[in-house]
Amino acid sequence: MRDPDRLLARAGVRGDPDRDQHFLVDDRVLDRLPTYITEIDADASHLLEIGGGTGALTDRLLALAGDDGNVTVVERDRDLAAFLREEFREEIDADRLTVIEGDALEVDLPAFTASVSNLPYGVSSQIAFRLLPEKRPLVLMFQQEFAERMVAEPGTSEYGRLSVSTQHYADVELVETVPKEAFSPPPAVESAVIRARPRDPDYEVDDEEFFLRFVKALFTQRRKTIRNGIRNTAHISGLERPDAVVDAADEDVLRKRPDAMSPSAFAELAQLALEVDTPAVDG
């Protein structure tokens, strides 16, 4: 495997905290990341990496994909993208690696079987919710606090909109915490790795966009009861008849606060809200 410090030296770059640029240089962490895919027997034939940097993780993903597999790297930094093309010229020529220069929030992502990525922390939420709907296994590194919120359970202080939205798409687990010293330069906070295994939720939602917007609305008033949240956030949820939804909902649910509601409970309430907010047309 390529040595991460030597890759940094060959690239002639230094991380820039002002640009949210912290290079993972701990060999042990780099070596472990691909194993979180192999542990669940995920298809590694076409791996996607967001934020290739100098290619330390890319190198390990190429080994995981094997000679018949393929890795696509998205890198927004022009100089780093150019370095990756030079450093991995042999793999690119063999059609084992594709380097896409651009912003991961804007470029067309290729079809992929799994993603292993050390995400830029400033846009990690947006990228995560671009990847999660693809229903592919994910191994992603985030700020530790963000990762803990993704996996949080109802009734905990970390549980919120992020928890519900993430768990709507996948079973998510925090598989490793990563110290600051694993990066160059060290970030201001600890990091953590989550693994997301896609699955269909155990509830039905007729309108996923509304469901996620409804969850977002209620968590803007997380200290209020569901009753008050429904009434106070119609401008976010888009409900036209919030009082009618309150009248139709179960009293036990209305007394709860959002952080006590499981994803399935949110789904049931969102479904009711949709039905009540769209009155039948007399014909």
Domains annotated on the chain, with CATH: 4-198 (3.40.50.150), 208-277 (1.10.8)
Q: What is the mean pLDDT of residues 107-135?
A: 94
Q: What is the mean pLDDT of residues 71-87?
A: 97
Q: What is the mean pLDDT of residues 124-145?
A: 96
Tell me: is residue 160 an annotated ligand-binding position: no
- Cα–Cα distance, 229 to 264 (Å, whole number): 18
- Cα–Cα distance, 194 to 166 (Å, whole number): 11
Answer yes or no: is pLDDT of 58 > 50.
Answer: yes
Tell me: is residue 70 an annotated ligand-binding position: no
Pairing state between β 114-118 and 138-143: parallel
Closest by CA position to 168, among listed 134, 132, 193: 132
Answer yes or no: is pLDDT of 27 > 50.
Answer: yes
- Cα–Cα distance, 268 to 204 (Å, whole number): 8
Q: What is the mean pLDDT of residues 165-185?
A: 97
Non-local (6+) Cβ contacts of 210 within 8 A are 237, 238, 270, 274
Tell me: is residue 51 an annotated ligand-binding position: yes
Q: Tell me the per-residue pLDDT of 153-168, one tens digit each, with 9 for 90 and over.
A: 999 999 999 999 999 9
Tell me: is residue 228 an annotated ligand-binding position: no
Closest by CA position to 171, among listed 197, 152, 134: 197
Q: What is the mean pLDDT of residues 83-96?
A: 98
- Kindly state the percentage of the chain with pLDDT values over 90: 93
Tell me: is residue 212 an annotated ligand-binding position: no
113 vs 188 pLDDT, higher one: 113
Mean pLDDT of the chain: 95
pLDDT at 15: 79
Distances (CA, A) of 137 to 112, 125, 212: 10, 17, 21
Of the pLDDT bands very low, low, confident and very high (cuts 50, 70, 90), residue 282 is very low
pTM above 0.85, yes or no: yes
Provide the phi-psi class of 238: left if phi over 0, else alpha when psi is between -120 and 50, else beta.
left
Q: Tell me the per-residue pLDDT of 139-156, one tens digit each, with 9 for 90 and over.
A: 999 999 999 999 999 999
- Cα–Cα distance, 220 to 239 (Å, whole number): 15
Of the pLDDT bands very low, low, confident and very high (cuts 50, 70, 90), residue 279 is low
Q: Tell me the per-residue pLDDT of 258-271, one tens digit each, with 9 for 90 and over.
A: 999 999 999 999 99
Amino acid at 118: N
Tell me: is residue 190 an annotated ligand-binding position: no
51 within 8 A of 21, measured Cβ to Cβ: no
Buried/exposed code over 74-88 (b: 16+ C-beta within 10 A; e: otherwise): bbbbeebbebbeebb
